Every structure is written in structure tokens, then in C-alpha cells.
Structure 1
């Protein structure tokens, strides 16, 4: 079954709002912000298998723009139900074949709609069991995804926690002079999967070995799409640092040494604990995050313990 057919089937089979037994009462749903955390809210009472009212989806979209991650507890979904729920929030992210991402398929040149993020043989094997450094997904594409949902199905006994970083708060905590200096800068993030394909050099973070900053005398590997270093959220209008902590990057029309030092300083700043929330996964959790203004990372876990989550990413627009 192709991904297009799968999504079409999911929407065809989805519950309808006029079917009372399959309709979610909006009054059953509450959204509670995480206390003392840099970002996040828990959504109680929602059953993602049911049809959702317009007012519920509007509330959830508003809450995502405000809290940046939403946590849905105790969900039980098959892939089609998961796709149907996700489709309330946007189109599935499908990059072009010349911009490989996690789980890009050799036959189609694009990833499947539902990606198994797993170390379990035969169910993904895309990210292994090592630490994943803080990053935004698909940052090296011309139109990065706006958000993703990650659904926990099987978890290790030790490790594997996921952290999210609030890059709006990180930007707002900078002094005014630094903000003014970086507001108009353009940043290129180079595709780590292209480098991995070319170098065939894997390391423990799952993205392949690469320099942290590209100097002008170094070769360009893959396409180069300049995006703002300081990104504006399309709904809230708030500004955020659009910078991960490890992939190869380059500031456009900027001195190499000064650029390398500036990026290193900003990366150190983003990692401050006051901008971070760490999620302790439970089976049935779905975490929905805004990929435009957050980074996420993963703690390592033992290689002999299984971990299976399923991710769906949603299409975004050109950063501005």
C-alpha cells in the first residue's frame, strides 16, 4: 500500500462527527500546562480514535502555539487511526527525493507517512540506541516540517527519555545587542544524511560524522538552503533561534572564524537547563511538538532493550 493510499484510506475510514458513539465531546477535554517547565501542556480526556469537533482542534492548535508541545496520554491507535488524527493539523511532510531525511525509502525517495523510530530489528532501525543531540527535524530542506507527533508503543526499562528545548525563550534571554546582531543573519544547515551517505561514517548520535561549522575552503556536501538564524513563528509572531546543536552549518556572507565562534556561543546558550523539558515516556503517550521553535534530543538506552515509537511529521512553509 502506498503512503498516499494509506492516508486516503485513513481519512475514508475515520469516524465522523455526526456519529454520536464515535464523537468526542469537547467538554471532556482539558489542557493543563506543565508547572515549572520551559514548555509543554498535557491534554486530558481526549481519545484520538474519535472524531473531534472544530472547537477542539482550534483549542489544540492555539495550545500548541502557546506551549510548543502537547502530551496526549493513554492512547491506543493503529496506523490508520493515528494518521486520521494527525491529519486534523495539516498535510503529511513529503520532502523531495533529492533531500533525504530519516527513513527515506530507496524506491520512492521519500519517507513513509508513519515512520517507526526504533532499534527493534525489522521495525525501523533508523536511530539506534545512542544519544541524539538537540536538533530540529528537516532543517536542511527548503520547507522544513512544521511539527511532528511521536507515539510510544514499546519502551526500554532504562533511558530513552526525550527532551525538548524552547528556542523562543532562548532567543528572548539574549541581550539586546546580540539579538540585534543576529536578527538579519541567514544560516545554512547542511543535510547530515547526504554526508552520511557519502562518507559512510556512522557515529553514536545517529547522524554521521560532520564538522560543526563549514569554512569556505571546505567542500559543500548536498544542497544549501539559507534560512533565517532567527525565525518568526507564523502564528504567534514570536522570534526563536533556528539552530541545532550539532549538524554542519554556515552563516551566509560572514567571516569564517567569527561565524564559528558565534554559532558555538549560541549553541551553548540554547542548552541551558532553564529552556529544557525532559519527557519520561509511558506506553500510549503521543507528544505533538512545534518543530519551528523547539529542538529535541534523546538519552541513550541499552542496546539489548527494545524501543519502538512511531512518528508522523507535518508539512511546513519556508521559514521567515
Structure 2
């Protein structure tokens, strides 16, 4: 079954509004902001297997734009049910075959609709067990994803927590002179999967190899380059956010190398301040839905002998502006 027919099957099999036992009553749903956190809200009373009313999806979309991540507790879904729920919020992210991303398949050149994020052999060992530094997904593509849902199925006893960073608050906290200076700058984020492939060709035993944080003009370009705003505007709320991952290779367009490297380092240090961060302690059955346009996320390491299996669905986005 291809990725396309899997999504079609999910929507074909989805519960219908006229089936009373499969319909979610909107009055049962509560959205509660996380107290004292930089971002996030928990959603209570929602069963993601059920058909959802238009007013529910509208409320959830509005809440996502406001709180940036939504946490659905105690869910129990198969892949088709998970896809059907995710498709309420947008189209599935499918990059072009010449732009590799996490879980790109050799046969199709694109990732599956449901990506196993796991260290378990046979379940998609795409991210291992080590630390993942703060990043926005698909930032190096011409049309980065708008958001993702991550569903916890099996968790380690130690570590593996995921943090999200509110890049709107990070931008708002900058002084006016810095905002004015960076508002019109363009940033290229280079594709880390192209760099990984190159490093493996040069030394198959080197793992991911060396990743530069900033590309100077005398260094070779690895992969295609798509310039996006350093300061991104949220398409629904109109709020501005820093559109910058903390460790990926980047370059400011038409900017002095040394000054650009220093500016990016300063902004990255700023993004990591604890007042912009929320760390999620996973429970089995959690689904976290985040706005990829105005957040970063990271993961703590966990022991390699402990299994961790989550499943991610990413949703298509538009060109950043």
C-alpha cells in the first residue's frame, strides 16, 4: 500500500457524523492552558477516533494558533485512525523527491505519511537514542511543514522528554534595535540530510560527521539552498517569530560572514533561555500537536537499551513570509 492510498483508506474508513456512537460531542471538550509555561494547552474529553464537528476543529485550530502546542491525553489509535484525525487540520506534508527529509524512502523519494520515530529495530530507527538539539522540522525545504503530531506508543523509563520553544516570545523579548536590524534579513538553512549523506560517503564509520553551524562564503555549498525570512510572520495571528534552529548549518543572505556568524550565535543563545521553553513528560497515549512555524523542539537522550516508539504525522505548509 502506497502512502497515498493509505491516506485515502484512512479517510474512507473514518467515522461519520450520522453515526451517533462515533460522533464526538463538542460540549465534552475542554482546552486548558498550561499554567506558568511558555506555551501549550491540554485538551480534555476528546477521543481522536471519533468524528469531530466543525466547531471543534475550529476551536482546536484557534487554540493551536494561540498556544502553539496542544496535548491530547490517553489516545488509542491505529495508523489509519491517526491519519484520519490529522487530516482535519491540513494536507499531509510531502516534499519533492529531490529534497530529503527524515524517513525519506528510497523507492518513492518521499517519507511515509506516518513516520515511526524510534530506536526500536524494525520500527524505523530514524532518530536513535541521543540528544536532538532544538530545531524546526523541514526548515531547509522550499515549503516547510506547518505543523506535526507526535503520538507516544512506547516510552523509555529514563529520559526521552521533548521540549518545545516559543519563538514568538523569543522575538518579542529582543530589544527594538535588534528587531529593526533583523526584520528584513533572509536566512538559508542547509539540508542536514544532504550533509549526512556526504559525510557517510567520505567516511562510512563517522556516523553523522561534522556539521558546521554557519556557512562562510569560502566553504562549499552542500545541497540546494532556499532563502526564508529570519523573522517569520505567523499566517493566522500575524505575530513575528525567530525562524532559526540552534545547530543546523545556516547562512545570512548578502551579509558579512564574521558579523553574520556572530549575530546568529547571539540569537541562538537567546532562543535557549528557559523562559521560552516547555518540557513535556511523555505518557503512553499522548498526542502532541505543534505549530512548526513558530516553535522549535528538542529531545533529551535516553538509554540505548530502552525502547522508545512514537509516530509522527507532518502537515503541509506554505512559503514562509
What's the TM-score once normalised by structure 1's chain length?
0.98
Match of 1:88, SS state, is helix
Which ranges in structure 2 are unaligned for 5 or more consecutive residues?
A: none
Which residue in 1 is equivalent to 2:217? Answer: 216
Counterpart Cα distance in 2 of 1:219 and 1:107: 29
Structure 1 pair 195/284, CA: closer, same or farther in 2 (3 Å)? same
Q: Note the 1:129-140 alignment, pairs <5 A.
A: 129-140=129-140
Which residue in 2 is equivalent to 1:180? Answer: 180
Which residue in 2 is equivalent to 1:308? Answer: 309
Counterpart Cα distance in 2 of 1:159 and 1:316: 31
Which residue in 2 is equivalent to 1:195? Answer: 195
Counterpart Cα distance in 1 of 2:261 and 2:205: 22
Which residue in 2 is equivalent to 1:22? Answer: 22
Match of 1:313, SS state, is strand
Which residue in 2 is equivalent to 1:237? Answer: 238
Structure 1 pair 208/277, CA: closer, same or farther in 2 (3 Å)? farther
Measure how far apart 1:208 and its partner are. 4.8
4+ residue runs over 2 A deviation? 201-204, 206-209
Q: Note the 1:227-266 alignment, pairs <5 A.
A: 227-266=228-267
Measure how far apart 1:302 and its partner are. 0.2
Measure how far apart 1:210 and its partner are. 1.1
Which residue in 2 is equivalent to 1:273? Answer: 274
Asked if the contact 1:100/1:110 (under 8 Å) is kept, the reply is yes
Cα shift readout 1:218-239 (whole Å, capped 9, x = no counterpart): 0000000000000000000000
Which residue in 2 is equivalent to 1:42? Answer: 42
Counterpart Cα distance in 2 of 1:176 and 1:305: 47
Asked if the contact 2:161/2:282 (under 8 Å) is kept, the reply is yes
| RMSD over aligned Cα atoms | 1.2
Measure how far apart 1:282 and its partner are. 0.1
Counterpart Cα distance in 2 of 1:275 and 1:59: 24
Cα shift readout 1:116-166 (whole Å, capped 9, x = no counterpart): 000000101000000000000000000000000000000000000000000
Asked if the contact 2:199/2:208 (under 8 Å) is kept, the reply is no
Counterpart Cα distance in 1 of 2:279 and 2:26: 29
Q: Note the 1:7-156 alignment, pairs <5 A.
A: 7-156=7-156
Match of 2:88, SS state, is coil
Asked if the contact 1:193/1:208 (under 8 Å) is kept, the reply is no
Measure how far apart 1:209 and its partner are. 2.5
What's the TM-score once normalised by structure 2's chain length?
0.98
Match of 1:178, SS state, is helix
Cα shift readout 1:228-252 (whole Å, capped 9, x = no counterpart): 0000000000000000000100000
Structure 1 pair 268/48, CA: closer, same or farther in 2 (3 Å)? same
Which ranges in structure 1 are unaligned for 5 or more consecutive residues?
A: none
